[in-house]
Amino acid sequence: MGVKGFQDYIEKHCNSTVVPVELQKLARGSLVGGAEGWQQPPQTLLRLLIEADSCLHWLYGGFYMGPSLSLHPSQGVSLGDNVTLRCHLPRLAAWVWLYQERGWSYNKGKEKEQDAAEFFFVSTLREHAGRYWCQYRVSWSVGASEKSDPVELVLTDHSYSPPSISIHPEQHVEMGTNITIRCWNKDYGATFLLHKDGSSDPIKHQDPSGGGAANFTFLAMTPADSGTYRCSYRLRGYPFVSSPPGDSVMLEVTPTAALSGGSEPPICIPPVMDGWLCLCIQSA
């Protein structure tokens, strides 16, 4: 940013923080009279004070809200598929950066300011898998915005063999039962992930501990836990490259059977006079 650009920025965004100075008055007082004639006054510095919090911080991007980043498609992406990462901007911006966690970055600039920027991966490779952020800069600022929240691009590699799955003790259980879902494959030293249909993200994961298997234990199951479950895994060193999901298992959790009327059996006490007195205790 040149002097003119800085001046325009100050006048547009920081007008209340600047004190105007009349240069003609300064010029008139540039000579001081005395017994020895006109002399130059003592040299002093002229200082312009600008409130950093309300002006310079804006200039360097400190107050710019971070953008948001989205994946399209958002899940189910395989190696070789096309992917778009779209950075949504809260204000018009001239420059947008896309960062990958390992340090790779790509920037996109346009002569016309934009409210979104798209980054395309055609025929994705393993190195495209990872965690991403985006960031932007407006045309008159020397600083950038905050970074967006991260998104993860997970690619499915169909050369991996799908894992197997089983449920213990059985697929049909009553409410309150503890169950274990077991996932396994060959001992690749993989991290296993457990998926439930209807959830976009894995509901559980287990880091490799040897043996090529993972046990996911659930305590006191409820009907809300009913559903279809699957497993996948990711090899050590490739945390964003996944196997295809394996076969599914269906879990059905049924409510505990209740007695008719919602009451306990009547409790009867010995006869009183010529009959029996029955005391019925209602269940809570």
How much is the CA Rg of the chain, to the nearest whole Å?
A: 35
pTM above 0.75, yes or no: no
Of 97, 130, 156, which closes a domain? 156
State which residues form the domain around 208.
Answer: 164-254
Beta bridge partners of 46: none
pLDDT of residue 259: 46
Of 136, 156, 176, which closes a domain? 156
What tens digit of pLDDT does each residue of 171-181 get?
999 999 999 99
Which candidate, 247, 246, 230, 243, places its Cα nearest to that of 78? 243
The residue among 102 and 196 whose pLDDT is bigger is 196
Q: 130 with 202, same domain?
A: no
pLDDT of residue 124: 95
- The mean per-residue pLDDT over the stretch 153-175 comes to 95
The residue among 264 and 156 whose pLDDT is bigger is 156
pLDDT of residue 127: 92
- The mean per-residue pLDDT over the stretch 122-146 comes to 88
Q: 180 with 149, same domain?
A: no
What CA–CA distance (Å, rounded) separates 205 from 142? 43
Residue 278 has pLDDT above 70, yes or no: no
- The mean per-residue pLDDT over the stretch 42-47 comes to 46
Residue type, 48: L
The residue among 147 and 108 whose pLDDT is bigger is 147
Q: 205 with 241, same domain?
A: yes
Which candidate, 276, 259, 278, places its Cα nearest to that of 267? 278
Q: Quick check: is 283 in a domain?
A: no
Q: Quick check: is 221 in a domain?
A: yes
Assign residue 145 the CATH number of its domain.
2.60.40.10
Confidence category of residue 113, pLDDT binned at 50, 70, 90? confident
Confidence category of residue 277, pLDDT binned at 50, 70, 90? very low
Q: 194 with 118, same domain?
A: no
Q: 80 with 118, same domain?
A: yes
- The mean per-residue pLDDT over the stretch 73-95 comes to 92
pLDDT of residue 138: 83
pLDDT of residue 188: 77
Q: Quick check: is 33 in a domain?
A: no
What tens digit of pLDDT does each residue of 67-82 get?
999 999 988 899 999 9
In the chain, the number of structural domains is: 3
Confidence category of residue 40, pLDDT binned at 50, 70, 90? low
Burial 93-102, CB ≥16 within 10 A → b, else e: bbbbbbbbee
Q: Quick check: is 139 in a domain?
A: yes
DSSP 8-class letter at 53: I
Confidence category of residue 104, pLDDT binned at 50, 70, 90? confident
Which of 127-131, 211-215, 253-257, 263-267 has the highest average model confidence (pLDDT)?
Answer: 127-131
- The mean per-residue pLDDT over the stretch 246-257 comes to 92
Which of 2-11, 51-60, 272-281 has the highest average model confidence (pLDDT)?
Answer: 2-11
CB 63 within 8 A of CB 57: yes
